[in-house]
Structures are given as structure tokens and as C-alpha cells.
Structure 1
Amino acid sequence: MAQFRCKQFLVEQKHCGMKVSTDSLILGSWSNASCLPAGSVLDIGAGTGILSLMLAQKTADNVEIHAVEIEKNAILDCQKNFYQSKWSQRLRLLHTDIKALATDNKYQWIISNPPYYTAGQKFETQRMLARHQQELTFQQLLTCVSALITQQGSAEFILPYANLDCFVKEASKLELHLVARLNVKTVEDKNEYKLACLRFSKNKTEYSQDELVIYQQNKQYTKAYKALCQPYYLNF
């Protein structure tokens, strides 16, 4: 699908190796960035720019959003998506490796749908670059986040539930404290979780945890999933 249409913006994805996914739509919908009154947001590994656009929709007009992307084909789509959106003046695309980004510019909010495949799975080159840790390990990602986030800032991620413990341990080594978590099941009545949304802060605050189920047994979306994604999905 060359395009993905949301209620307030259109995502072109002709060139990008990673198309719009349920992962990003859940993370962007769950994000608490709407509480940010001003400042700047950083989207690491922007791809099509879907997370940046979702956060632009839910944040104030004086919040600037920077998106970092290394893959040149993803840049083509992301640049076009930013330009044709109504928030183009607040969106800035940086074609660079996050590990090379200057740390003197701090961000109040960081969001990322990070690479998580490690071995044994093969894709076309663009998709591999977007989804494999060979280019950006969890440790490298979290080290960058720790260096780029303000003391009062927050960082949000989505990843497979199986990777959760490893990710949280790496974050704790860098004094990034887990403050909120959303466990995601694909289908109700299934025991296993598939995904987890995580929110970290440099300051320890009250911890909250919730659960989301995407589908009912009849393969229809649950009321909770519809309510979460309603501001973005056309049919909700």
C-alpha cells in the first residue's frame, strides 16, 4: 500500500522499507506527549514520519519535532509527508545517524519504534536496516536517549514483549526509570503478550501499568483499541 491515510494527515510510503505498522500506531496513540506545553520532541528512526506526525497532531503549536532517519529511501517519503502536512513548520527532518547527533541540543520528549530483530530473519535491505539491531543496538539507542533527554524529560518506545526485560535492564543502567507500561495482546483470551509500550524518565515517579487487546475473538477490533486509536484511524 503506497499510502496510509489518517484523519488529519496522509502518509506516503512508496520508498520506505518499513511501512506504517500497528506498532507505531499504538505507540503514537498511547504517547503522553500531549502533556508537553512547549519545547522539543525527538523521533529516532522516523521511517515514514508516522510517529512525528501523530505527535504533531496531539501537541501544542509551540512544540517543535525533530525526526532522525538514516535510510535514504525512507527520507524521501518522510520529507514529503512532513511537507504536505499542516504542521510542516514544526517538523524538521535530520538525515543522520542518531549516534552522530550533537548532544548539546536536549529534548523534552523522545519517541522511537526501535529496531529489534537480531538474527535469523532476512528481509530486503531497506527493511533490514529499519528493523535489525546490527545498525543500532538497544544499548546504543538508550545511551543516545540518556545523552539527549532533559532531566525532566520522557522517552517512549514499543518493542516485542520478549525483549522487555533486557531493554528495561539496559535503561536502568543509564538511570532511565520505567514509569509507565502498556502490555499488548493481539487477541483476547490469549495468555501471551506480544508487544509492550514503555515510558521512561530520569526522575522516579509513580509507576503505572495497563493492558490493551487489539482483537476480539471474532477478529473485530476491541472497544479499547478503537478508543485508543480513534483520533487517527479513519474508520474509528
Structure 2
Amino acid sequence: MLAQAFPEAQITALEINEGALLDAQYNIKQSPFAHRIELLKQDFLSYKPSEAFDLIVSNPPYFSATGAIAPDGGRALARQEQSEGLNLVRLMNLSQAMLSRQDGSSLCLITPLDREMDLRLYACEAGLRSQSLCRVSSLPNKGVRLLSSWTHLELSSAYCRSDISELTLHKSDQTPSQAYADLLSPFLP
């Protein structure tokens, strides 16, 4: 979807889980954008890019190390913060160092809605500020996710207000909301 949305982008994708890596390889090969996507079996914590990124997108481990317990099995690594592994603090600190200083460069995250305050704190500590926060509900009044965008905090620049919005995916009758349908329309036949 990123390759489709940004026709000039060269994309580097990192995946640590072998099963997810195989799925990603298959999906990329089926894509008309495969020539612009590099997939690496790589832990984000040890990744050293040769140049800075204008955009970093992540669906990081989202269960707090001290909160809910991730389900058993291979998915736990992707869902549960690890004391020695990837967590939101490390993700934000490493991403800040990997982001270019170009205007508009950003780190975009998909996290549970209840991690918003954690993200705000970690961003300040990493020298990042929020650009936008979208609180996503699966149904009306049932918030589940936060889509957030973070950029370098420039202390010499004027105050910039964060764009805060809400998106409800489905109406009460379980049919897609118009906003959700509009958002996905460029990606569907």
C-alpha cells in the first residue's frame, strides 16, 4: 500500500519472524511494485541503514511489558514488548536517529489506543513531537487503535498543533462507514 501511495518511493521492509517473512516475500512477488521493495530478515534493534529515511512505518509490539499478556505462540514476539527486545521506547529512540531532517519526515505507528500517553512521553524523551493522532474505533464509541505520526522536535521553530481526528470503521450494523470506504478506495479494484 505504501508503494502504491508513494509512486517514487524505494521501500525497505524489515521482518524478524520467519513465517511473516515468507508471507511478505510472497505478497511482494505478487505486487506490481516488487521492484521498489527490498525485504530484509532483520531485527530493527540491530539495523543500521546506509542513509536516513523520510518515512518509517511500524506496527510495533503493542502489549506493554507490564500490561496484558500476549497470546502464546509465535505471535507473542510481535505483540508483546520484551524487556530486552523491541518496545515503544527503543522504537522511538532508534527511529528518531534514522529519520531524515527533511521537512515532512515522520515515524508512523499503529498501536492500541490506550498507549497514547506512553507514546507522548516516549516521543518527548526521544526528541519527537506528534504531527497527527487518529483515534480509530471498530464500531461507534468502541475505540481500539491509535494511528500516530511523529517528527523531529525543533526547539527553534514555532509551536505546531497536532492534527487530531477520529475514524470509525463500521457503522452499528457492521457495514463499513463511508469514511473507511473512502480511505480504502484507492487500494481496491
Q: TM-score range by the shorter chain?
A: 0.7 to 0.9
- Report if aligned partners of 1:151, 1:203 keep a CA contact under 8 Å in 2: no
Higher relative contact order (CA 8 A, sep 6+): 1
Residue 93 of structure 2: aligned partner: 143
Superposed displacement of residue 157, structure 1:
0.7
The TM-score normalised by the length of structure 2 is 0.87
Residue 6 of structure 2: aligned partner: 59
Aligned length, in residue pairs: 178
1:200-211 correspondence runs (5 A): 200-203=150-153, 205-211=160-166
- Report if aligned partners of 1:181, 1:199 keep a CA contact under 8 Å in 2: yes
Output the aligned Cα RMSD.
1.7
The TM-score normalised by the length of structure 1 is 0.70
Q: Which runs of 5+ in 1 are unaligned?
A: 1-53
Residue 78 of structure 1: aligned partner: 24
1:20-99 correspondence runs (5 A): 54-60=1-7, 62-99=8-45
Superposed displacement of residue 103, structure 1:
4.5
- Report if aligned partners of 2:63, 2:70 keep a CA contact under 8 Å in 1: no
1:230 aligns with 2:185: yes
Q: Indicate the percent of aligned positions where both proteins have the same amino acid.
A: 26
Residue 186 of structure 1: aligned partner: 138
Q: Distance in 1 between matches of 2:49 and 2:101?
A: 13
Change (3 A) 1:122 1:139: closer
Aligned with residue 173 of structure 1, among 119, 125, 131: 125
After the TM superposition, which parts of structure 1 deviate over 3 Å for at least 4 consecutive aligned residues? Answer: 203-206
Q: Distance in 2 between matches of 1:175 and 1:83?
A: 37
- Report if aligned partners of 2:134, 2:147 keep a CA contact under 8 Å in 1: yes
Q: Distance in 2 between matches of 1:92 and 1:86?
A: 14
What is the SS of the residue equivalent to 2:187?
A: coil
Residue 161 of structure 1: aligned partner: 113
What is the SS of the residue equivalent to 1:231?
A: helix
> Residue deviations 1:38-58, cap 9 Å, x none?
xxxxxxxxxxxxxxxx10011
1:130 aligns with 2:78: yes
Q: Distance in 2 between matches of 1:84 and 1:202?
A: 35
Residue 58 of structure 2: aligned partner: 112
> Residue deviations 1:202-226, cap 9 Å, x none?
1564421111111212121111111
Superposed displacement of residue 84, structure 1:
2.1
